[in-house]
Chains A and B, each alone.
Chain A
Amino acid sequence: MCALNIQPELQTQQSMQAVVNDFALMVATKNGSGSQTSNEVLIRSLFRMGIPVSAKNLFPSNIKGLPTWYTIRASKDSYIARRETTEIGVVMNQDTAAEDIANLPSGGVCIIPADWKWGQSRPDITYYEIPVKETVAKSEIPSEFRDRISNMVYVGVCAYLFNMPLDIVRKALLDTFNGKEKPTAMNFGVIQNAYDWASANVTKADPFRFETLNLTEGKILITGNEAAALGALFGGITIAAWYPITPSTSMIDGILDHKHIRKDPVTGKDTVAIVQAEDELSAIGMIIGAGWAGARALTSTSGPGISLMAEFTGLAYYAEIPCVIWDITRMGPSTGLPTRTSQGDLLFIHILGHGDTRQIVLLPGSVEECFEFGWRGFDIAEQFQTPVFVMSDLDLGMNIWMSDQFSYPDQPLNRGKVLTNKEKLEAFMESHGGEWYRYRDYDGDGITYRTIPGVDHTRAAYFTRGTGHTDMGTYSERGDDWMKGLGRITDKINSTRNQLPQPVTDWDKDKTIGILSFGSNDPAIVEARNILAAQGIQTNYMRVRALPLADSVHEFIQTHNRVYVLENNFDGQLAQLVRMETDKSTQHMTSLALGDTLPMTAHWIVSEITKRETH
């Protein structure tokens, strides 16, 4: 079974009327063959042509040899969700070729190496057989680069077939090689030769073409993990502790790549320490120790790592220690599908830790929000003195997204109620009857004052423990102390509902159908709502951005006749959470949970909703 689950009927192109800037291209190769570079050149070329573009890399959990599919979508309407159908197939992997060709829609295009002598079994598609080996041979490439560079042949052919100006392709190539001329020149030689071959030998027989637009002006191309890394750097991260795991690794790599923006301007020394821990048990311990000592610290991981962090995050919750944990989710349970996307950790991280815990979870739905929650996560953690989880996913984190440029933080750093020196502690005590106790609720908001180690005052110290404690921080096994302490924490967390990033809504009180969702499903929902509207199904939309759920979520559900809860997991976890929290009827709420290992598509949403809305 091909992992792409293609359903060809939707986007079939039967006529020869030109299809401009509204189709998708799929490149099927073997992992580790170097196709990432050529695919990036294609994306960057379209981006430079001003055409809205998005890309999905469907790669195996393997270093070399297993099949990988890369889909690139151009959309004049600026839709950036995954598309189920790809009209163009660049078939470069013999292991999957039969299936890849079978999956093409009628009227589609198959670009395939000529030397395979594959045969043209489908009369309803256009074949272009391209001389990969000869083109590379002609380009006089040093033998060690030959295999990887052969992917540039399909770039050149596509440039010719679909009308991508070569000067733009060259610029895109230069971008991909970070401005390095030498590899650019070598690769461009192959592209040029392939282009020349195509112009001399190919008769175009398909309707697909790109045309320059101006819709990417001022935009950027970036992955969610890089955006999150930048956000963290603008949020004052000083310690990152981590253990490598797909799909979170590139977030830490992003911090490493960009931490120079935080170098001390005078000494050139770093203000960010990155520690590769021995495991996630240790990574979380390190950031809790750092947060306790007053630093802004984060870790980034995925499901298996989250499982290992459970005990420690319970401690940080109960002992009220700020720290930030990014969960770039992948398919679970267990090792699951390490390179496939999912939103399956939602409930687990919300209640992570044994006993009664309710962790704060932020849910970015775009790369812009990855950046924003990158810095805001620290503010929230320190404001409420608690761990903050940010749940991104493989799709958001690892794929390249087109986005508006990120906005500079609109608020100064919020360090919370922290007494960082003797003077602050003294001033506090002076205005509080001469006392300060770590867990005493002086302001009635459930948030108490903390000192950090090193405050040079005889009363600054307190003892941090995960065992029962009084509001003075002393050990206690008394039930009333326990209830008072945990009760305050529970109230504190509850109070965040309407203070955390609130849901984004498109809510017109006249419409009676609601869509509730979160995270990276957003682009597919945006597209689906337009398709539904064109079919006469008008919907409202609420995208949740944090747990615990804002009160408006329940209001949204109660004020609609029907609500569809869309999420990319198996169990419908957001819907479950809504039901857990409300005593009102949710009979009119339908859980549409996918969990098919791929990013959600508008097609799936439209078909699920129309099925229920038209009888």
Chain B
Amino acid sequence: MANAIGLERADYKGAQSTLCPGCGHDSISNQIISAAYDLNLNMTQVIKFSGIGCSSKTPAYFLRGSHGFNAVHGRMPSVATGATLANSNLTAIGVSGDGDTGSIGFGQYKHLIRRNVPIVYIIENNGVYGLTKGQFSATSDEGAKLKYYGINDLPPIDLCLEAIVGGCTFVARSFSGDAKQVQTLIKAAVAHRGTAVLDIISPCVTFNNAPDSTKGYDYGKENEIPLHSIEYMPKGYVPAKDEITVEGDYEGTISVKMHDGSYIKLKAIDNNHDPRSREQAINLLEKGQRESLFLTGLIYYEEPRPTLGETMELVETPLAHLGDEALRPSAQTLAEVMKSFA
């Protein structure tokens, strides 16, 4: 069935995936495809970015109508920063891995967030280096076991916690086995202005999917604790009066109005987490870590602060589209400048 701009879901696909059958990353690609189809995205106005890794290969496998850039390992954030600064009209989607983001690209990740670069930043987190065949990553849980590398004795880096501490205004965690939640969060993230981080646990079926692996399918299916059920309401939706609750404790439903006029509607399951509270969000992640709870959902949300480009006093036309007359001052201007050096 064609969507509002006349495209079939299949039109949003990319090249045939070359990942291992069953790899969690492929299901995330599928959700990106579905979300884009549902959102009626014009692919020509989307730019895709990635680093290096199995996860970073995936932008070739979705949204074939979008320009894509497969950068170097860990340094997709800087490429996305330059590109979005050059053309602020485009919607950026980045895909990275836990190695790509949590190790080699950790600095760029933190600085992307600090600058509030407008991008949906998806980490396909499998607790392992897939493409280099099964080394531990910095998000591997303490005590995790891998075939060749034994037991990990180091504490994990929590990429959501790092995002919140770093000033990110949209931070979510999900599980690639929870298709609906992944898809809804992607839609909300696209609507968000600024950096939106989605840390999606995405099992590597080849190197880290043993029954006891905290990044595996079995574990995820049995242990995922969604904080809330999430619905995405496209632009035009009018929330019922009693839906929106004040800041602080709440029970029941909360609706968050996104930058583009759409809403996300969160219905608490059996806890009272309010994603609008930074303190609660940090405590929640600390608790999850301490008690080994696999909590998913929108962990933190805040009214976006200005993006990098918005912090500068730039012309409205995207820099990449400025014409020659805007790019080269006149001969008279040069003469004046020269006079100041005489």
Mark B298-342 against chain A: 1 for CB-CB distance below 8 A, else 0: 000000000011001111101111101011110101100110011
Cβ–Cβ < 8 Å partners of B146 in chain A: none
Instruction: Evaluate whether A464 and B68 lie within 8 angstroms (CB atoms) in the complex, with A273-B314, A293-B47 already known.
Output: yes
Query: Given known contacts A270-B313, A462-B67, is B329 in contact with A234 (CB within 8 Å)?
Result: yes
The answer to whether A408 touches B314, judged by C-beta atoms less than 8 angstroms apart, is: no
- Give the contacts of A215-234 with B (CB-CB under 8 A): 218-222, 230, 233-234
Chain B min CB distance to A133 (Å)? 36
- In the complex, what distance in Å separates the CA atom of A286 from the CA atom of B83? 7
* A588 close to chain B: CB less than 8 A: no
Taking CB atoms, residues of chain B closer than 8 Å to A7 are none
Contact between B47 and A234, CB atoms less than 8 A apart? no
With A264-B315, A311-B72, A453-B47 as given contacts, are A279 and B324 in contact (CB-CB < 8 Å)? no
Contact B82 A288 (CB under 8 A): yes
Q: Which of B45, B327, B334, B342 contacts A236 (CB 8 A)?
A: B327
Inter-chain contacts of B316 with A (CB < 8 A): 267, 269
Interface flags, B22-50, vs A, CB<8A=1, else 0: 00000000000000000000111101000
A508 CB to closest chain B CB (Å) equals 34
Which of B318, B329, B334 has a CB less than 8 Å from the CB of A406?
A: B334
Contact of A271 among B75, B319, B341 (CB under 8 A): B319
Shortest CB-to-CB span from B317 to chain A, Å, is: 8
Instruction: Give the distance in Å from the alpha carbon of A268 to the alpha carbon of B209 in the complex.
Output: 57
Residues of B within 8 Å of A409, CB to CB, are 328
Q: Do residues B315 and A269 form an inter-chain contact, with CB atoms below 8 A?
A: yes
Are A270 and B326 CB-contacts (below 8 A) given A277-B78, A295-B319? no
A465 at the interface (CB under 8 A from B): yes
Q: Judge whether B79 is part of the interface by a CB distance below 8 angstroms.
A: yes
B329 and A233 form a contact (CB under 8 A): yes
B15: interface (CB < 8 Å)? yes
Task: Report A310 CB to chain B, min CB distance, Å.
Answer: 10
CA distance A451 to B87 in the complex (A): 14
Task: Evaluate contact between B320 and A315: CB separation under 8 angstroms.
Answer: no
Contact A275 B44 (CB under 8 A): no
B314 touches A460 (CB 8 A): no
- Do residues A230 and B337 form an inter-chain contact, with CB atoms below 8 A? yes
**In the bound complex, how far is the Cα of B42 from the Cα of A267, in angstroms?**
30
Encoded as 1 (CB less than 8 Å from any B CB) or 0, chain A from 295 to 328 comes to 1110000000000000110010000000000000
B108 close to A289 (CB less than 8 A): no
Q: Which residue of A lies closest to B59 (CB)?
A: A463
- Alpha-carbon gap, A131 to B83, bound state (A): 60
For B86, give its contact among A258, A264, A294 (CB under 8 Å): A294
Complex contacts, B42 vs chain A, CB 8 Å: 456
Question: Is A21 an interface residue when CB atoms closer than 8 A count as contact?
Answer: no
Q: Evaluate whether A238 and B319 lie within 8 angstroms (CB atoms) in the complex, with A285-B82, A464-B70 already known.
A: yes
Given contacts A286-B79, A289-B81, A458-B65, contact A463 B328 (CB under 8 A): no
- Asked if B185 is an interface residue, CB under 8 A from chain A, the answer is no
CA gap between A285 and B104 in the complex, in Å: 14
**Size of interface on A: residues with Cβ below 8 Å to B:** 72
Is A464's CB under 8 angstroms from B314's CB? no
Are B44 and A234 neighbours in the complex by a CB distance under 8 Å? Answer: no
Residues of B contacting A467 in the complex (Cβ-Cβ under 8 angstroms): 70
B64 at the interface (CB under 8 A from A): yes
**Which chain A residue shows the least CB distance to B68?**
A463
Answer whether A293 and B320 are a contact pair too, CB < 8 Å, given A241-B82, A273-B309: yes
Complex CA gap A220/B340 in Å reads 8
Residue-wise interface mask of A (38-82) relative to B, using a CB-CB cutoff of 8 A (1 in contact, 0 not): 000000000000000000000000000000000000000000000
**B82 to A239, Cβ gap below 8 A?**
yes
- A466 interface residue (CB < 8 Å to B): yes
Q: Is B60 an interface residue (CB 8 A)?
A: yes
The answer for the CA separation of A258 and B322 in the assembled complex, in Å, is 19
Instruction: Kindly identify which residue among B66, B315, B337 contacts A261, using a CB–CB cutoff of 8 Å.
Output: B337
Question: Closest 4 interchain pairs by CB?
Answer: A285-B78, A289-B82, A236-B327, A294-B320
Can you spell out 30 A-B residue pairs with CB atoms less than 8 angstroms apart? Answer: A220-B341, A235-B328, A261-B329, A261-B333, A264-B315, A269-B316, A271-B319, A271-B322, A278-B108, A282-B111, A283-B78, A285-B71, A288-B79, A289-B71, A289-B83, A293-B86, A293-B87, A295-B320, A405-B338, A413-B327, A413-B328, A452-B87, A454-B87, A456-B45, A461-B64, A463-B67, A463-B70, A464-B69, A466-B71, A466-B72
Sample of 20 further A-B pairs with CB below 8 A, known A286-B78, A311-B72 = A221-B341, A261-B333, A262-B326, A264-B315, A267-B315, A271-B327, A273-B309, A278-B108, A281-B78, A282-B111, A285-B72, A286-B85, A296-B327, A297-B82, A375-B328, A413-B324, A452-B320, A454-B44, A454-B67, A465-B60
Chain A residues in the interface with B (C-beta under 8 A):
218-222, 230, 233-236, 238-239, 241, 258, 261-262, 264, 267, 269-271, 273, 275, 277-279, 281-297, 311-312, 315, 375, 405-406, 408-409, 412-413, 420, 451-458, 460-467, 474-475
